[in-house]
Amino acid sequence: MSERVLAIAAHPDDIEFVMAGTLIRLREAGFELHYLNVADGYCGSATADAVTIAATRAAEAQAAAESIGATFHASLVHDLEIFYTDELLRRLASVVRSVEPRIVLTHSPQDYMEDHVNTCRLAVTATFARGMPNYSTRPERAAISGEVTVYHAQPHGNRDPLGNVVRPELYVDIGEVMEEKTNMLAHHASQKEWLDTSQGLDSYLHTMQDLSAEVGSMSERFPYAEGWRKRLHLGFCGPKDDPLSACLARHVYRPSR
């Protein structure tokens, strides 16, 4: 059985912005990909009603996931309803147990909006609780064994909420897969059209490419990169576990400290 990676992000298109290149690299390394947006994107339009845009964005996200061969998991709540609650945590923990990931990719602990930050907190605790038999999930799933390594993506804009630049500890070279990453983001046409109207032609795609180039520049090695920080191992994996570096060795740069 292939090892699995679970990407947990807040909204449709968040995975495409900061995680998709790494997912594609992991697919090349033989991983089974899993894709989950906690919220459904129903606030993501200035013109369409909530029901319509949520359905549109679900279809776009599913198409994006399928374009890279990822298993799509349905969203759990509406936009701006991602709170660190008992109910949502149990539902997300059920997904983690169903996937049994070796790697979890999620948001930065510091980011520009609370949906991202709360998704990060939920993803961490849901993964931490994977092996606790007395913790019940919804739907109910048995506890799982095995080590999981959690990695935090770059915050949107590569900056924390106070404008400070956030530098990764690990860079994944995505230059060769930028076209596939861009095509994946282009499935989110409702967002592209909205931002094209307000910011100019292809602004959505260009913004993603520019941010990936900025991370590449930080690496001083790659033209385009995605950046990661590995969460402390306690409760998750061995102290020296680093499956991204191990599995993507040819495409990873970790600066010496």
Cα distance between residue 117 and residue 10, in whole Å: 9
CATH of 4-253, one of 3.40.50.720, 3.40.50.10320, 3.40.50.11060, 3.60.150.10: 3.40.50.10320
DSSP string, 162-184: TS-B---SEEEE-GGGHHHHHHH
Question: Of 108, 36, 119, nearest to 84 (Cα)?
Answer: 119
Distances (CA, A) of 99 to 34, 154, 212, 236: 8, 24, 28, 15
* C-alpha torsion 183→228→254→164, nearest 10: 110
Cα of 79 vs its chain's centroid, Å: 16
Alpha helices in the chain (DSSP H): 14-18, 20-28, 50-67, 86-99, 114-128, 178-186, 189-199, 203-219, 243-247
| Per-residue model confidence (pLDDT) at position 148 | 98
| Per-residue model confidence (pLDDT) at position 201 | 43
Question: Of 247, 226, 230, nearest to 30 (Cα)?
Answer: 247
Q: 88 — alpha (psi -120 to 50), left (phi > 0) or beta?
A: alpha
| Per-residue model confidence (pLDDT) at position 195 | 65
Half-sphere CA count of 44, side-chain side, radius 13 A: 27
DSSP state of 71: E
Cα of 170 vs its chain's centroid, Å: 16
**pLDDT tens per residue, the chain (257 residues)?**
689 999 999 999 999 999 999 999 999 999 999 999 999 999 888 789 999 999 999 999 999 999 999 999 999 999 999 999 999 999 999 999 999 999 999 999 999 999 999 999 999 999 999 999 999 999 999 999 999 999 999 999 999 999 999 999 999 999 999 999 999 999 999 987 666 665 554 588 989 999 999 999 999 999 999 999 999 999 999 999 999 999 999 999 999 86
| Per-residue model confidence (pLDDT) at position 2 | 86
Burial class of 1 by CB neighbour count within 10 A (0 to 12, 13 to 18, 19+): exposed
Domain ranges, ordered by start, for the chain:
4-253
